[in-house]
Chain A
């Protein structure tokens, strides 16, 4: 593949044309702050922290590096004074929204922001959209989406109640950088059966007992979902991976 000739922060270098600016700079060891980007997900371009200044044919422009591709002859500045100033304002604004979020505090420290001058709102979610996108792009359940506009925007399941789409796989819990999405397993008061509760999504799902060792290991709906998705027999997924590995299938 022919490489692109790039000037990165004043130094001449070569970039891979098929990759984004962010991926290329990472390969070159240059660190650009990001919040919404995740290597397993499509670029989303919402946090805008990854902005860089590019110059082409004398035209300067600020673009987000996570979803911009490289072109031959591009001059890229990842930390120009202009970029730094805007990035600082963005971090201050987000710090005002989520003063308690650890990722945000770390980011502020990295960038040298001590406190936010803007009124604090005490939210927990940083609106990176990773849970929504994981659920849609990776899991394929499409159980989550954004609701409301502007600063009232939040993530929810349809109509804010027990979701039929949520399969209780816990990917959202895993991917959330703030820890605001959580789940726990318990024995249902009503049915006396083990259940998984997706705390933020107000959804309860029955858990499956392993056909071999009798321990609960996943929600039934998740097993059905993946059996359908990967076209395996449902019975195959009735045994936990632990027992499967040992060959203890029934």
Chain B
């Protein structure tokens, strides 16, 4: 059926709602990449098999990532008139037991993470209940969704549907208020009016630079060309970041709807989704979504019975980080090697095939339908003065709860790490938080109160970037961290312009020298010189921001550099050339664990007698350090 009128959309919505709130039992399994990596596909299949075997009637539906990635595989069980129950760390072996209990509408408690009594649909603000308050009360000790520290401070706009709906089913997206904004925009709004609304929202690009979206659309609208393009940037090359992947895998229609609205506003008739080839599942989901949208008339000719036509193509990138840069991305789509070209002219004036092109990030576009359906003013009430709305972060590293979180701008870094992330894993101490991906910076613990917004992060020498957030504990060497990011950047520099190509290489070599104990006092001066040349003279933002990891660690952890250079020491115990392993005589119990673990017979000692490490033979592999039951091995 082709959607032409509001009634058609409502019909689709009805059938979608029946799927989201079914009359029978429904089981959803988080089948995004993070889930599959932890075996969720097997859990999904096991459910299907076991339900058949035990003759229990229930549907099993794949959904996207719900954010608590460290507890994947995550399973939701929806039993009519009961709160929705979310289970974590589910394994294949648990399935027979779970299914057996399902017959009596019972869910064993051991794997329960939380329950959901009601869900707010952010697209229209309406709340839908799974169970009445009295029914919910019977759930007793199970914590409710909104009360968990992980979720309490989150606000999900871009991730509104991830983990809730079947990403491959357009009806479920429509049931969550999907395509209503696109319908109203295309059938009833003037493009200028839409752009004003987006401007009012204060939404800024989530791909890194934070450019105001409304302004970019206005420029693209005013640009002249016989055809215009909209490109969705899904290249997401930052190591450790997977915000965009999750959206594409868990809610591809939200991005399509954002693109439709963008295309209509700027007058584009064709769109591209440039997604990195290493995201096969994301590619599959968007491709499916495009097909379904076409079949429903939500893409293609004369959409909603108007004269607006729009089509979307999927283009796969080959995994070069620099292809996320917009001019390199365009070159890549055109079939050239992905290298940036000098701007101006900007893509909005002269982009793909020389025609006006508006490039927006996945997360940016996923926000758009909500901006329109709730209004720019509503959106602009979230966040700080200049940074509006929410931002998704992939919270990783030394934090207790690793996962994907969406928080309102202006939240403090501390709240993200301690409240949402549950603090530092293993009871260790926070040292720094790295934000903004490889060209971001490290924010030290003493600035943990910093408000997370574009301006504050930039002022602190880091950037918002696309949303990577790596938490580092006291065992992290900051020189080593800078070296790691520089090693990434030197490999990913396209090599076209001199400052970035030679600069990243030179900085890497200097840092490498320092971590090997061959640093010189004038190295710091040299680092600063090269960093200045890179950031001032590089052609594209890769080189312009490549200095950040070095400059921010120099700024906050200068002492560590000094220590490496002057004292030839690495007090974090990371740089192997600068550390020595020894056994503390007072602690050693002579258990022989270290002697057995050492791969090069550097440890000597008799059972129950004190052991010793030969400095000459030791290759600093840390095996003894990791294995000692009483922490008698010390690093100096």
Chain A residues within CB distance 8 Å of chain B: 43, 45-49, 51, 62, 64, 67, 82, 85-86, 89-90, 93-94, 96-97, 117-119, 127, 129, 145-146, 148-153
Q: CB distance A127 to B498 under 8 Å?
A: yes
CA distance A153 to B496 in the complex (A): 8
Q: CB distance B492 to A93 under 8 Å?
A: no
Listed by A's residue number, 9 A-B pairs whose Cβ atoms lie within 8 Å are: A46-B496, A51-B536, A85-B529, A90-B537, A93-B498, A118-B530, A119-B506, A129-B496, A148-B495
CB distance from A15 to the nearest CB of B (A): 18
CA distance A96 to B533 in the complex (A): 15
Given contacts A46-B496, A89-B533, A90-B537, contact A64 B509 (CB under 8 A): no
Interface size class of B (residues with CB under 8 A): 20 to 34
Q: CB distance A64 to B342 under 8 Å?
A: yes
From A48, A49, A129, A145, contact of B337 by CB (8 A): A145
Contacts of B497 in A (CB 8 A): 45-48
Given contacts A48-B497, A151-B501, contact A89 B530 (CB under 8 A): yes
Given contacts A48-B539, A150-B495, contact A86 B532 (CB under 8 A): yes
Is there a chain A Cβ closer than 8 Å to B490's Cβ?
yes
CA distance A96 to B551 in the complex (A): 23
Q: CB distance B499 to A93 under 8 Å?
A: yes
Is there a chain A Cβ closer than 8 Å to B494's Cβ?
yes
Contacts of A129 in B (CB 8 A): 496
Q: CB distance B533 to A86 under 8 Å?
A: yes
- A-B pairs, top 6 by smallest CB distance, nearest first, are A153-B495, A93-B502, A89-B533, A45-B342, A48-B537, A150-B493
Is there a chain A Cβ closer than 8 Å to B526's Cβ?
yes
Contacts of B423 in A (CB 8 A): none
Given contacts A85-B532, A93-B506, A145-B337, contact A46 B320 (CB under 8 A): no
CA distance A94 to B532 in the complex (A): 16
Q: CB distance A150 to B537 under 8 Å?
A: no
Q: Of residues A43, A47, A118, A153, which shows the largest number of chain B Cβ atoms within 10 Å of its Cβ? A: A118
Contacts of B504 in A (CB 8 A): 150-151
Chain B residues within CB distance 8 Å of chain A: 320, 322, 337, 339, 341-342, 490-499, 501-506, 509, 522, 526, 529-530, 532-533, 536-539
Given contacts A45-B342, A51-B537, contact A90 B493 (CB under 8 A): no
CB distance from A22 to the nearest CB of B (A): 13
CB distance from A71 to the nearest CB of B (A): 12
CA distance A82 to B533 in the complex (A): 10
Q: CB distance A146 to B337 under 8 Å?
A: yes
Contacts of A145 in B (CB 8 A): 337
CB distance from A208 to the nearest CB of B (A): 33
CA distance A90 to B532 in the complex (A): 10
Contacts of B498 in A (CB 8 A): 46-49, 90, 93-94, 127
Contacts of A118 in B (CB 8 A): 502, 506, 509, 526, 530
CA distance A118 to B490 in the complex (A): 15
Q: Which residue of B lies closest to A47 (CB)?
A: B498
CB distance from B38 to the nearest CB of A (A): 33
Contacts of A46 in B (CB 8 A): 496-498, 539
Q: CB distance B495 to A86 under 8 Å?
A: no
CB distance from B109 to the nearest CB of A (A): 52
CA distance A119 to B337 in the complex (A): 29
CA distance A127 to B529 in the complex (A): 22
14 more A-B residue pairs beyond the given contacts A62-B537, A150-B501, A151-B502, with a C-beta to C-beta distance below 8 A:
A46-B497, A47-B498, A48-B497, A82-B536, A85-B532, A93-B533, A94-B498, A127-B495, A149-B322, A149-B492, A149-B494, A150-B490, A150-B491, A152-B495
Contacts of A150 in B (CB 8 A): 490-495, 501, 504-505
Contacts of B526 in A (CB 8 A): 117-118
CB distance from B504 to the nearest CB of A (A): 7
Q: CB distance B495 to A96 under 8 Å?
A: no
Q: CB distance B490 to A90 under 8 Å?
A: no
Q: Which residue of A lies closest to B528 (CB)?
A: A89
A-B pairs with CB below 8 Å: how many?
101
Q: CB distance B529 to A89 under 8 Å?
A: yes
Contacts of A62 in B (CB 8 A): 536-537
Q: Which residue of A lies closest to B341 (CB)?
A: A45
CA distance A67 to B539 in the complex (A): 11
CA distance A123 to B419 in the complex (A): 52
Q: Which residue of B lies closest to A151 (CB)?
A: B505
Contacts of B509 in A (CB 8 A): 118-119
Contacts of B505 in A (CB 8 A): 150-151
Contacts of B495 in A (CB 8 A): 127, 146, 148-153
CA distance A237 to B222 in the complex (A): 51
Contacts of A148 in B (CB 8 A): 495
From B493, B494, B502, B530, contact of A97 by CB (8 A): B502
CB distance from A2 to the nearest CB of B (A): 21
Contacts of A94 in B (CB 8 A): 498, 502
Contacts of B492 in A (CB 8 A): 149-150
Contacts of A49 in B (CB 8 A): 498
CA distance A145 to B322 in the complex (A): 18
Contacts of B341 in A (CB 8 A): 45
CA distance A242 to B320 in the complex (A): 50
CB distance from B538 to the nearest CB of A (A): 7
Q: CB distance A86 to B537 under 8 Å?
A: yes
CA distance A150 to B490 in the complex (A): 6
Contacts of B537 in A (CB 8 A): 48, 51, 62, 64, 86, 90
CB distance from A84 to the nearest CB of B (A): 12
From A43, A119, A153, contact of B501 by CB (8 A): A153
CB distance from B268 to the nearest CB of A (A): 28
CA distance A149 to B538 in the complex (A): 15
CA distance A119 to B266 in the complex (A): 50
Q: Which residue of B lies closest to A98 (CB)?
A: B502
Q: Which residue of A lies closest to B531 (CB)?
A: A89
Q: Which residue of B lies closest to A117 (CB)?
A: B526
Q: CB distance B501 to A67 under 8 Å?
A: no
Q: Of residues B497, B498, B503, B533, which shows the largest number of chain A Cβ atoms within 10 Å of its Cβ? A: B498
CA distance A49 to B499 in the complex (A): 9
CB distance from A138 to the nearest CB of B (A): 18
Q: CB distance A151 to B490 under 8 Å?
A: yes
Q: Which residue of B lies closest to A92 (CB)?
A: B529
Contacts of A86 in B (CB 8 A): 532-533, 536-537
CB distance from B110 to the nearest CB of A (A): 50
Q: Which residue of B lies closest to A116 (CB)?
A: B506
Contacts of A151 in B (CB 8 A): 490, 493, 495, 501-502, 504-505
CB distance from A235 to the nearest CB of B (A): 36
CA distance A94 to B501 in the complex (A): 10
CB distance from B321 to the nearest CB of A (A): 9
CA distance A148 to B339 in the complex (A): 11
Contacts of A90 in B (CB 8 A): 498-499, 533, 537
Q: Which residue of A lies closest to B506 (CB)?
A: A118
Q: CB distance A149 to B491 under 8 Å?
A: yes
CB distance from A79 to the nearest CB of B (A): 15
CA distance A51 to B544 in the complex (A): 14
CA distance A129 to B496 in the complex (A): 9
CA distance A146 to B339 in the complex (A): 10
Q: CB distance B493 to A149 under 8 Å?
A: yes
CA distance A93 to B498 in the complex (A): 8
CA distance A149 to B488 in the complex (A): 12
Contacts of B503 in A (CB 8 A): 93
CA distance A67 to B343 in the complex (A): 9
Q: Which residue of A lies closest to B522 (CB)?
A: A117
Q: CB distance A149 to B533 under 8 Å?
A: no
CB distance from A9 to the nearest CB of B (A): 19
CA distance A148 to B496 in the complex (A): 10
CA distance A76 to B449 in the complex (A): 42
CA distance A249 to B492 in the complex (A): 56
Contacts of B502 in A (CB 8 A): 93-94, 96-97, 118, 151
CB distance from A26 to the nearest CB of B (A): 19
